[in-house]
Amino acid sequence: MTPVQEKVLTELPNYQADCLVQAKTGTGKTIAFLLPALQSLLASNQNIPKGQVAILILSPTRELALQIAKECNAVTAKLQPKIECHTAYGGTSKERDLKTFLGGDPKVLVATPGRLNDYLNDEYIAHKFQSIRTLILDEADQMLEAGFLVALNDILRRLPQKQQANWQGMCFSATIPPKIQPVLSKVLKNDHTRLSTVDPNETPTIDRVPQFFAVVPSVSDVYNALWALLQMEYKSTVGDFKVIVFGTTANGVALMHSLFTNLLASNSTLQVFQLQSRLTQSNRTRTTNEFKEAKAGIMFASDVIGRGMDFPNVSHVVQVGLPSSGDQYVHRVGRTARAGNEGRAFIILTQRERFFLHVNKRLPIQPYPVDLLEDLALSQPRELAAAFTGVDQLTKAKAYQAWLGFNKSFTKQLQFDNNMLVQEANEYARAMGCPEPPLIDRTVVGKMGLRGVQGLNIGHIERSGGGRGGRGGARGGQGDSRRGGRRGKK
């Protein structure tokens, strides 16, 4: 057993007890919540009627839901009679999934909140949850955050009431910020058990992972630094080079994927992957499986795999740009050094983004020992420029827009006013090889609160490749005070 598994199995007052459990990334929390819930289901003499869900597990992402279901199937593989574990998550055919769900005996269901709510909206399907014994929130802090809380409240309204049905609540995560305390009572009794394998005085990341930062002067240096870093680490890595590079937005990730596919075209051993929310679910699932099995390669990813995902033997994690929070940094670093393995982690920030290091002083991040941009021959800017010519205009235009949307939500910390933000975005566009700022829709500009800001190239982006459909150009005027364009899609 890993420490968290031992703690849960030996220190819970009983396997039906409510609990809040914290343990570092990659230390086996999945089995730590599956075992007590399954054991108490098996040991109970309650006969759960066929077709009724007994254990409901909520996950923030589809990939994680599928992974948990696989772990559950592995744990129960030898049991007779079989315990069926089903999944319910978006992006797949609801009809097909429902047919399997309604035709089977889904004693365990692993679901994402949106699809589960779809199910629960139907009274007949909601009835299948009348015998629920255990509700588990994996990545509990995220599930209890504003973004998910509305959906979670809807789910809780449609499940049997906790007080009457007395179902067990279990919350697990590597990070448990104090801000979730007020909402814990939605799933846990007041006298729930709290278990942690993390000393509050130690770092929240895995100790074995050396962590480095590189600060570059501006946004136009970022990909250069990334290319230099990947080459340096590749040369000095003895075993397999299996890397996850996190970007801030789905479209930014698509851009990096396209750029590095060009840069690495001649390297036959390093396959390049991407995982972000704008891909189809079948593509996401296929890529997840391929990268799980790959011995080496580079995955460009957004936060759809920032938490919980278990890709074996990831040797390096690189974060490009700001993580959404210090906790999210910790989860991303946790994609390496899992289950006792080694790993290295890096973050590349611009001067303006450097504040992240000050705000998160508790994180053990050291300066990278080499100046990535010092040796221009090594960072090969010409090679990068050539690779950018092979990236299509639409990908660049979308990345530009996503960059604006993401950074707009950090303007205060980045000490940008709207004009400076757009200037920096245009510098980013130049670094991508765009002769002028990519077109951006008037409505998008309005939503971002950038109406009237100098330097924007307003017009309609054509799907066929970023051709122009009209031009507003730079016009002076009142800034738009409406909030909008919060962080782009993950």
Give residues in contact with ligand ATP (CB under 6 A).
1-2, 5, 23, 25-31, 174, 308, 310, 334, 338-339
Judged by beta carbon, residue 198 or residue 444, the one nearer ligand ATP is: 198
Judged by beta carbon, residue 28 or residue 252, the one nearer ligand ATP is: 28
Judged by beta carbon, residue 28 or residue 323, the one nearer ligand ATP is: 28
In the complex, minimum distance from the CB of residue 29 to ligand ATP, in angstroms, rounded to a whole number: 3
In the complex, minimum distance from the CB of residue 125 to ligand ATP, in angstroms, rounded to a whole number: 28
Distance CA 408, CA 401 (A): 11
Say which residue the tokens 């031009």 belong to. Answer: 471
| CA distance between the termini of the chain | 34
Judged by beta carbon, residue 5 or residue 328, the one nearer ligand ATP is: 5
Half-sphere exposure of 301 (CA within 13 A, CB side): 26
Judged by beta carbon, residue 174 or residue 264, the one nearer ligand ATP is: 174
Judged by beta carbon, residue 340 or residue 465, the one nearer ligand ATP is: 340
In the complex, minimum distance from the CB of residue 310 to ligand ATP, in angstroms, rounded to a whole number: 4
In the complex, minimum distance from the CB of residue 30 to ligand ATP, in angstroms, rounded to a whole number: 3
In the complex, minimum distance from the CB of residue 27 to ligand ATP, in angstroms, rounded to a whole number: 5
Structure tokens at 452: 């009237």
Judged by beta carbon, residue 328 or residue 393, the one nearer ligand ATP is: 328
Judged by beta carbon, residue 28 or residue 485, the one nearer ligand ATP is: 28
Q: At what angle do helices 418-431 and 393-408 cross, to 10 degrees?
A: 150
Judged by beta carbon, residue 31 or residue 445, the one nearer ligand ATP is: 31
In the complex, minimum distance from the CB of residue 67 to ligand ATP, in angstroms, rounded to a whole number: 7
Judged by beta carbon, residue 32 or residue 228, the one nearer ligand ATP is: 32
Structure tokens at 81: 């009679």
In the complex, minimum distance from the CB of residue 32 to ligand ATP, in angstroms, rounded to a whole number: 7
In the chain, the amino acid numbered 306 is G
Distances 329 to 78, 175, 261, 455 between C-alpha atoms, Å: 38, 11, 25, 33
User: Contact 418/453 with Cβ under 8 angstroms?
Assistant: yes
Judged by beta carbon, residue 184 or residue 337, the one nearer ligand ATP is: 337
Distance CA 256, CA 317 (A): 15
In the complex, minimum distance from the CB of residue 26 to ligand ATP, in angstroms, rounded to a whole number: 5
In the complex, minimum distance from the CB of residue 269 to ligand ATP, in angstroms, rounded to a whole number: 24
Distance CA 465, CA 312 (A): 37
Distances 184 to 158, 193, 282, 326, 473 between C-alpha atoms, Å: 18, 12, 34, 21, 50
Distances 408 to 79, 281, 424, 489 between C-alpha atoms, Å: 53, 29, 11, 14
In the complex, minimum distance from the CB of residue 299 to ligand ATP, in angstroms, rounded to a whole number: 15
Half-sphere exposure of 15 (CA within 13 A, CB side): 18
User: Contact 444/397 with Cβ under 8 angstroms?
Assistant: no
Q: At what angle do helices 113-120 and 94-103 cross, to 10 degrees?
A: 60
Distances 29 to 57, 76, 134, 174, 338 between C-alpha atoms, Å: 13, 16, 16, 9, 12
Of residues 60, 186, 173, 187, the one with CA closest to residue 114: 60
In the complex, minimum distance from the CB of residue 274 to ligand ATP, in angstroms, rounded to a whole number: 20
User: Contact 246/271 with Cβ under 8 angstroms?
Assistant: no
Distance CA 329, CA 335 (A): 10
